């Protein structure tokens, strides 16, 4: 549980942002994050196909992307109920479908497009390819 402590803090940050109706994806640029991503999260991201090391490092320097990916990782690691995992996979599939519904809105904005693409690849690999 000690390894997941910092992951849980990231989950708390994204939960608080969403609970207070903050715009979660407002600031997607590459930045110097206040926190480093967990080693375990980065190791798990190494397994995601079609995501280069450079892309992974760049995207994970953004606090919101790091929090979203850490939330997904923490769920994947902590939840062992097959039913809950299946339901989560269904809900995440809806999120991916919503992202892609009007993808043309941001086709000229590579920052949004690549960030959504990164999140989608992680969701596909960790939740939808089972």
Q: Determine the Cα angle at 49 with ends 15 and 71, to 5°.
A: 10
Lowest mean pLDDT among 29-33, 34-38, 40-44, 73-77: 29-33
Mean pLDDT of the chain: 88
Name, in order, each residue with C-beta under 8 angstroms of 40's C-beta and a sequence gap of 6 or more. Answer: 3, 7, 73, 77
What local confidence, expressed as pLDDT, does residue 50 receive?
Answer: 93
Give me 16's structure tokens: 């608080």
DSSP 64-130: HHHHHHHHHHHHHHH---HHHHHHHHHHHHHHHHHHHHTGGGGTT-HHHHHHHHHHHHHHIIIII--
The CA radius of gyration of the chain, in Å to the nearest whole number, is 14
Task: Give residue 32's pLDDT.
Answer: 65
Q: What's the whole-number mean pLDDT along residues 14-35?
A: 79
Please give the DSSP secondary-structure letter assigned to residue 48.
S
Task: Choose between 129 and 126: higher pLDDT.
Answer: 126
Query: How far from 33 is each of 29, 70, 124, CA to CA, in Å?
Result: 11, 14, 25
pLDDT value of residue 45: 96
């Amino acid at each position: 549980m000690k390894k997941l402590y910092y992951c849980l803090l990231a989950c708390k940050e994204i939960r608080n942002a969403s609970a207070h109706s903050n715009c979660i994806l407002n600031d997607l640029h590459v930045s110097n994050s206040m926190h480093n991503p967990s080693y375990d999260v980065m190791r798990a991201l190494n397994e995601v196909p079609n995501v280069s090391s450079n892309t992974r490092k760049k995207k994970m320097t953004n606090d919101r992307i790091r929090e979203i990916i850490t939330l997904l990782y923490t769920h994947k690691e902590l939840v062992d109920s097959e039913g809950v995992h299946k339901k989560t996979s269904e809900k995440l599939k809806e999120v991916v479908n919503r992202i892609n519904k009007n993808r043309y809105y941001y086709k000229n904005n590579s920052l949004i497009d690549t960030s959504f693409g990164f999140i989608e690849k992680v969701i596909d690999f960790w939740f939808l390819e089972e």
